[in-house]
Structures are given as structure tokens and as C-alpha cells.
Amino acid sequence: MKANEQGYGVGSNSYQAAGELAGITRLVDAFYDNMERLPEAARIRAMHPQDLSESRKKLTYFLSGWLGGPRLYRQNYGAITIPGFHRHLEIGVAERDAWLLCMEQAIAAQPYAAPFAEYLLAQLTIPADRVVQACAGGEP
Ligand code: HEM
């Protein structure tokens, strides 16, 4: 994550602002609950395994490290490149928007300070755009 003037993105500041592992777990639970609920997300929901428990755990672990906390994904599953991991999937602008919609509503449901909520969503659009590029064959 890029640092901003509030200091998010520096050290473990974003991890703390997100409520550490418990807060990230709540965020990811809300995110996948939205994916199951929102009609706009039906297509990306269908790309996931029927049982979302592993997906919930993996995204929680990934975000822990990405936000500057413990690198739980790497420790448990090894290295991952987000664009490369998704490139076998059919993810275009509509799928990215659906993913970000689930995330936007999940973030809004957390007790985050407004500047952090805005920062987090803005930062997540960066890898989301890279996923779209990779799926179009443009990025490894
Ligand atoms: C752009 C829209 C995105 C869509 C439609 C999407 C969709 C998916 C799908 C379908 C899977 C499950 C694949 C499977 O189990 O076979 C998955 C896994 C995952 N996604 Fe995404 N994704 C998107 C963006 C992102 C972003 C931006 C991140 C990180 C910030 C991310 C992190 C992950 C992680 C960590 C996994 C689990 C990897 C693993 O199985 O080891 N995704 N995603």
C-alpha cells in the first residue's frame, strides 16, 4: 500500500486502523457475505468454490500482510502475485466493479474512520485494476 498524509501505508498503521486480525476477519466476512447477497456479484460468486471458508481465510491472511501486519498468507500458503493468480479467470471491468462493490459495502459497515475507509478502498482499486489487465493478457 502507498503511504498517505495520514500515515496509512507506513509500517503497520493500516493494519492497526483495520482492527488487526479480528477487524480484517470482520471485513472479509462482510465482503463475502455481500458477494453471496448482491445480484451484481452473482457471476464472481460463481467463480469461487461453493464453500467460501477457505476463500475467507485466504483473503484475510493476504490482507493482513498487505496492510502491514503479519504476512500470514505467505507463512501458510507461500508467495502469491495477485494479478498472476487470477489470470486464468475471466475478469473484466464488470467483474472488477462487482468485486469493488462488495468491498465498498463491507468497508462502509466497519467502524473505520472515514479517511481510512476512503484510503483502503482507493488502494484496493490498484490491485483490482491489475487483475483486469492480467486477465486481458497484459500483465504476468
Ligand atoms: C478484480 C476483481 C477480482 C475478482 C473477480 C476476484 C475473484 C477471485 C476468485 C474467483 C477467487 C477464487 C479462485 C479459486 O479459488 O479458484 C479469488 C481468490 C483470491 N483473490 Fe481475488 N478477485 C479479484 C480481485 C482481488 C484482489 C484485488 C485481491 C487482493 C487485494 C484478491 C485476492 C485474492 C486472494 C488472496 C485469493 C485466494 C488465493 C488462493 O486461493 O490462494 N482478489 N479471487
Could you read off the pLDDT of 4-30 as tens digits, one per residue? 878 898 999 999 999 999 999 999 999
77 lines ligand 1 (CB under 6 A): yes
CATH level 3 topology of 15-135? Globin-like (1.10.490)
- The region that residue 130 occupies, defined by phi over 0 for left and psi between -120 and 50 for alpha, beta otherwise, is alpha
Average pLDDT of the chain? Answer: 96
Backbone angles phi, psi at 47, to 5 degrees: -75, -20
* 32, 57, 59, 81, best to mutate for ligand 1 pocket (most atoms within 8 Å of CB): 59
* C-beta separation of 127 from 83 below 8 A: yes
Task: Tell how far the Cα of 76 is from the centroid of ligand 1, in angstroms.
Answer: 16
114: confidence class by pLDDT, cuts 50, 70, 90: very high
Q: pTM of the prediction?
A: 0.96
Q: Is the minimum distance from the CB of 109 to ligand 1 under 6 angstroms?
A: no
CB contact at 8 A, 136 and 92? yes
Q: With a 6 A CB cut-off, is 56 part of the ligand 1 pocket?
A: no
CA atoms within 13 A on the CB side of 41: 18
DSSP code at position 121: H
Instruction: Provide the pLDDT for residue 139.
Output: 64
Compute CA distances 109 → 1, 6, 10, 128, whole Å: 22, 21, 24, 21
Domain ranges of the chain: 15-135
